[in-house]
Structure 1
């Protein structure tokens, strides 16, 4: 039986220091080696869905936690063990097949919302419904997946051009809305055109995924249960950002999973109160921080930071005055990819494909463990990916100013230290 809030051993607030909370989140994310040898599905179930924005984050998410190489990830996509799907807030994540049906259910409102834009441009729902059926028919008759250009050519005048007004509103034609609705309902799925997640070219194929047995309330509760498990605890505001739920929906979901409210001795990025699953409260009370170094290089959009958008919490107090955080979104985001030790950001990095090397800035210099991990990730990027794109439009040329800035910061840090 799930413990009630009254029976859970609540850790003393004074024991929940910044260092302990960082190490706890690190552990819950499986970055301490506890996911070594797991499958991609198991990693996503434990650490959370990997944000996919046409970048390499899903690959590094799996390599950092379980040593899974790109070839295996791409094979898992081909066999539909994992897929990139629109879910919470309508955003796309890579997730395991155990979550496909209810995760898609959470993204349907966002897909339908795009129709409101078309409605203001004179498109009625019947026109989109007809286009949806024509897309399904075209894919059924095709010899393989079709990309949007091929579908547009096949469907001809059934795809309406919405002119300049449509372009201004981000809807050049009616096709993307039809594709989004079909995908949100599991009738079609989007697949990487060349089999790779880090090059944002997509095609579509038929799917016909069965409906989720969960109703809307149960699906929201399942997301909150998963989210609190992935993070090891989050503020209400952080959970709202990730889920996109209203205040009433968020509170109802927390109640449905018997979430426990605890207070910390430190003010987190979202306040000093965390909501946790009952079993995790007891685990946190017994949790011991690791004594030795545990070094990881992660993407800036890794779940450790993205799920709670709390990069500031992962910096030591002495490092918060450095030029580390991006001047945006309440300073939640990083301008570069982080290097971490047991949940604390100790440096930043970028990949220079021209030199086939990682350029890094270590705040306090590199230990042997840091140097070894940088070399390992550098070799993995070179062998598996060829480059490390943060997002679909990331390019070596666009990245060069950041690379130069990191190199200059490293030189300045070295000079100051010695």
Structure 2
């Protein structure tokens, strides 16, 4: 069975972008929890992206709706998981990500941190890296238990071992004095000891607080078998992102090839051919997989419905930096086309993108006053440009005069911010 690029783009619109409308076999999403569940996880490294990813998919939702799900209901939780990346996942998925991805990440972070403490110059000198690391973790837990949520700077003042500094070893501009605070909090997050909480100030602020995970899960994160968790994570990802390649899943999870294959081995899969070539270019067909049953085959069988036609033909979206759809696959030409150099930074991080009919056609940003500005990179016609302008105006209204600066700067972002 061969899945064309056009079929993949139609499924992308129906199952990942146009979530606020009813479609055959799928009810409309009505909450931030619905959106996150459909996408498995939302990227949360860049503070505004979680809110913006939700607002792009369900027009009736607001920034306050997302905040309530994150910090009042706590039905969505920030976890350090796949690829050592901060994600937001549904509360029920936390144990799956913890066992299937986070624990492996934590082991790697611990090994790296111990090596740095043993080999790099520090202030003050560290005689026993293992003892220092255990004492610093205990200090953070004790401070949070006594004082409640604190940001990184407040933690460093209350837990003096966090002020242990790594000293520069070269004259490179990036090689600067850095403290133990950030890497230790990453380790504690991956271990499931702490959780990233609400930002200080505006919703888009990168200055967030940390809490003990026990404040969110009083009985601890439920323990799952790691292999079973990986299989469940693979199933959820394929339901949202399939049909796809094994390489796509391996990249998204950060697993090695053996772990990826073992996770897929316990699923009921159909082997397919998927086109990863760009729109308008030659087909590039590679081996892929999809789930059997309603989550897999059913998602394709409904794509020829007239209701899907109507949605796809007029669909526009302004997706944020590191959006889960933009970053969902490692082979991206089938929805990204030739625009990668302008829309990604040198490390492979996606900037904010403009979408039309299931493919990337431009970029956007918000100015300091909250006005959304955009640029189209190809001829999409007057109807598409009008739809983008209307979506930009809608998003400007939702931002309420509050702009933000993304954490990842792309070439086109610089141009947009300079010209307004």
| 1:128 aligned partner | 133
- Please, which runs of 5 or more residues in structure 2 have no aligned partner? 119-127
CA contact (8 A) 1:136 1:206 kept: yes
| 1:87 aligned partner | 81
User: CA–CA distance in 2 between the matches of 1:390 and 1:277?
Assistant: 39
User: CA–CA distance in 2 between the matches of 1:270 and 1:116?
Assistant: 40
User: May I ask how many residue pairs the two structures share in their alignment?
Assistant: 385
Task: Please give the secondary structure, in 2, of the residue aligned with 1:260.
Answer: strand
- Please, which runs of 5 or more residues in structure 1 have no aligned partner? 1-11, 408-418
* Distance change (3 Å), C-alpha of 1:140 and 1:260: same
Deviation string for 1:32-69 (max 9, x for gaps)? 53464522112111123111222432122111222321
| 2:6 aligned partner | 19
| 2:354 aligned partner | 339
CA contact (8 A) 1:193 1:202 kept: yes
- Bigger drift between 377-386 and 255-264 goes to 377-386
Specify which of 56, 61, 64 is matched with residue 64 of structure 1. Answer: 56
Q: TM-score by structure 1 length?
A: 0.80
Specify which of 192, 196, 201 is matched with residue 190 of structure 1. Answer: 196
Deviation at 1:227, TM superposition (A): 0.9
User: CA–CA distance in 2 between the matches of 1:130 and 1:116?
Assistant: 16
CA RMSD of aligned residues (A): 3.4
Asked if 1:314 is matched to 2:318, the reply is no
Deviation at 1:341, TM superposition (A): 2.7
User: CA–CA distance in 1 between the matches of 2:110 and 2:103?
Assistant: 12
| 1:391 aligned partner | 406
Deviation at 1:306, TM superposition (A): 0.6
| 2:225 aligned partner | 215
Task: Please give the secondary structure, in 1, of the residue aligned with 2:192.
Answer: coil
Deviation at 1:400, TM superposition (A): 4.3
Deviation at 1:81, TM superposition (A): 1.5
* Distance change (3 Å), C-alpha of 1:270 and 1:390: farther
Q: TM-score by structure 2 length?
A: 0.79
Task: Please give the secondary structure, in 2, of the residue aligned with 1:303.
Answer: coil
Specify which of 136, 150, 156 is matched with residue 152 of structure 1. Answer: 156
CA contact (8 A) 2:244 2:289 kept: yes
Asked if 1:232 is matched to 2:242, the reply is yes
Task: Please give the secondary structure, in 2, of the residue aligned with 1:222.
Answer: helix
CA contact (8 A) 1:108 1:181 kept: no
Q: Which has the higher contact order (CA 8 A, sep 6+)?
A: 1
- Bigger drift between 119-128 and 271-280 goes to 119-128
CA contact (8 A) 1:61 1:298 kept: yes
CA contact (8 A) 1:299 1:390 kept: no
| 1:175 aligned partner | 181
* Distance change (3 Å), C-alpha of 1:295 and 1:37: same
* Distance change (3 Å), C-alpha of 1:134 and 1:300: closer
Asked if 1:43 is matched to 2:35, the reply is yes
| 2:208 aligned partner | 202
Deviation string for 1:344-378 (max 9, x for gaps)? 23443333346824232262255446524533433
User: CA–CA distance in 2 between the matches of 1:322 and 1:52?
Assistant: 21
